[in-house]
Chain A
C-alpha cells in the first residue's frame, strides 16, 4: 500500500485531501462536480460501433464511464459497469474481471458476464501469483507479444505453431505454453492486464466473440483503456479505504484515551470522596448538578464559542475537590465546627488541587484555573484570589452553585442536612453575594424541571 501511495500524483493528493475533509465532517460521499482535474486522461480511442447506432460511439461511453468513476467509492461498482459495458457493446461469450486481493494473495474473479455455463461464476476461481499468465503480466513480457500488452489466444497458438518463432528461447516458449494452458482453462480469447503505474492489480478476461470474428485493434485498445480504468478505480478505492481506516484509527485512539482519562478522573474523584466519609458521591453529584445548570445556560457566549465547554465542565466538576487529598483526616472528618486555623487549612484545597493537576499537560489550563477558583465569591469575598463577578471563570461559577447546594443537602460533619427549601432559600439569599445570579436562576429553572437529581436527599 505504501508503494501505491508513493505513486500518487498531485491530482490524487488533492482528491485525497478533499476526501479527508469530507470524512472528517462525516459526509462520506464525494460529489463528482467538486473535482475538476481528477478525471483520468484517456487515450484517443477512435471506435465505430458496428451495431445499429454508430453515433453513440464507445469513446463517449468510455469518457462518461471514466468521469463517473470518481463517484464510486468501491471499485466493484466500476468493475460491474465495465463488464456490463463490454457485454453490451461487444458480443462475447463471456467476460470476467480478476482483482488482486491482499488477504488471499491471489487474483479473485470479482465479476463476470455471459450465459450461465459460459461465464465463470463470481467468486468461484482465483489465480495465484505463480500462475503463468499472472507471471507474464507481472514481468511485462506480454509486451513482447503485442504493443498493447493484451494477450491474444489465437496469436499465441499461431506463434507456438511457428517453428521459427522464438525457437532460440526455449524458456519463453515453455512460458507461453503454460500461458496457453491457463487461457484454455479460462476459455479466454483475450487476457488484458490492469496496471496502475506498472503494478498488476487485475486481469480482464474475454471469451470468444459470439460472431466468431477476431477482435479488432480498436476493440483491443478499448479493452486496454477499460482495464486501466479498473486499475485506477481499485487504486482509488484502496487509497480511500486506507484513509478511512486511518481516520477511524485516530478517532478510536482518541476515544480510547478520552475514556481512559474520564475514568481516571472518576476514580480520582471517588478516591477523594471516599476519604471524606460524609461526602460520599459528592463529586459525582456536583458533576450531575453542574451539567443540569449548563443545559439552562447553554446560550451564554462563553459556552457557545467553546466546543469543549461541556467536556471541560464535566472534568472540572469531577476533580474540583482533588486538593482535599492534602487535607489531614482529623480536620476533614472533624465533628463540630472548625477552628480558625483548621478553616485555613481546608481553604487551601483549591490551591493544592491546582498543584496536583498542574503536571498533567493534557489538562486544559481553563480546567486547572477553574478548580483554583471554585471557592471564589461573586462579591469578591471568596478565596484564594478574591476574584469578583465575571472575573471568576464561568466553570467555577457553575460549580460554586452545584457544590454549595450539595454541601447543604448532604450530611456534613459540621452541619446536619438542611431541608431542601432551606437550601434553595440560601442560594437565593446569597445570589449576587456568593453566587452568580444568572447561574442561580439557571439552577432554579433546572430544579423546577426536575432535572436536578437528588440521589441522597
Chain B
C-alpha cells in the first residue's frame, strides 16, 4: 500500500476541517497524509512518521508553528516545511525562512499553488538541499 504513495505529507493545523480537506485533497493525488492539531503532538509524530513535507500553520495552541520549526528541523532535517497561514507579514516570512522553512503560503490560498509547491519540494528535493531552497522560497508567490 505504502509503495504506491508518491510521498508522505503531514499537516499541522488547529482546524480539523483544514486537516481533513488537505488530507483528502492529497490522498486523491496519491500522497500519504497524516495530521496533528498542535506542536506538542506534531513533534513526536515527525520523529515517528518522518514526513517528506510538512504543511504547518503559525497560529497553534501552545507552541507556535514558527517556534516549533527549529525542533522539527533538528528531529528530522529531511522534512521540508511549508508554512500555510493567514498572516501576511514580511517579518514572519523572514523568520520562517531563517528557521529553515522551504515555503510560505498565505491563506486564502490557490489550490494549484499549494499542489505545485508540494510537488516541487518533493520531486526536486536534491535541488533544494543543494542550496537552492531559498530560490524556491522566493519563487513562491505570496498573495
- In whole angstroms, how far apart are the Cα atoms of A118 and B21 in the complex? 6
Q: Which residues on A sit within 8 Å (CB–CB) of B1?
A: none
**B109 A126 Cβ-Cβ under 8 A:** yes
B83-99 interface code vs A (CB 8 A; 1 in, 0 out): 00010000000000000
- Interface mask (A97-127 → B, CB under 8 Å = 1, otherwise 0): 0000000101011000000111111011111
Q: How many residues in B have their beta carbons less than 8 Å from beta carbons of A? A: 17
Contacts known (A104-B143, A116-B20); A123 close to B110, Cβ less than 8 A: no
A125 touching B110 by the CB < 8 A rule? yes
Cα-based distance from A186 to B28 in the complex (angstroms):
12
A128 at the interface (CB under 8 A from B): yes
Known: A128-B110, A185-B111, A185-B112. A121 touches B17 (CB 8 A): yes
B60 to chain A, nearest CB (A): 16
Contact status A121-B110, CB under 8 Å: no
Would you call A126 and B17 a contact (CB within 8 A)?
no
Distance in Å: Cβ of B75 to nearest Cβ of chain A: 28
B115 at the interface (CB under 8 A from A): yes
A219 to B86, CA, bound (A): 36
A328 to B137, CA, bound (A): 76
Contact B17 A116 (CB under 8 A): yes
Report whether A124 and B24 are in contact in the complex, using a CB–CB cutoff of 8 Å: no
Q: Which residues of B contact A125 (CB under 8 A)?
A: 107-111
Please, how many angstroms separate the alpha-carbon atoms of A125 and B108 in the complex?
4
Interface size on A, residues (CB 8 A): 18
Query: Contact partner of A123 among B20, B24, B108, CB < 8 A?
Result: B108
Q: Does B18 belong to the interface (CB within 8 Å)?
A: yes
A117 touches B23 (CB 8 A): yes
Instruction: Kindly provide the distance from the CB of A243 to the nearest chain B CB, expressed in whole angstroms.
Output: 27
Residues 1-39 of chain B, each 1 if its beta carbon lies under 8 Å from chain A, else 0: 000000000000001111011011000000000000000
Report A188-229 CB contacts with B as 1/0, cut-off 8 Å: 000000000000000000000000000000000000000000
B21 to A119, Cβ gap below 8 A? yes
Q: Contact at B111–A186, with CB atoms within 8 Å?
A: yes
Within 8 Å CB of B86, what residues of A? 123
8 A-B Cβ contacts within 8 A? A116-B17, A116-B20, A117-B24, A121-B15, A123-B86, A124-B21, A124-B108, A126-B109
What is B's interface to A at a CB cutoff of 8 Å?
15-18, 20-21, 23-24, 86, 107-112, 115, 143
Residues of chain A touching chain B, judged by Cβ–Cβ distance below 8 Å, are 104, 106, 108-109, 116-121, 123-128, 185-186
6 closest residue pairs by CB, A with B: A117-B20, A126-B108, A121-B17, A185-B111, A116-B20, A117-B24
Other than the given A116-B16, A121-B15, 15 more pairs (CB < 8 A) read: A104-B108, A108-B108, A117-B20, A117-B21, A117-B24, A118-B24, A119-B17, A123-B86, A124-B18, A124-B109, A125-B110, A126-B109, A127-B110, A185-B112, A185-B115
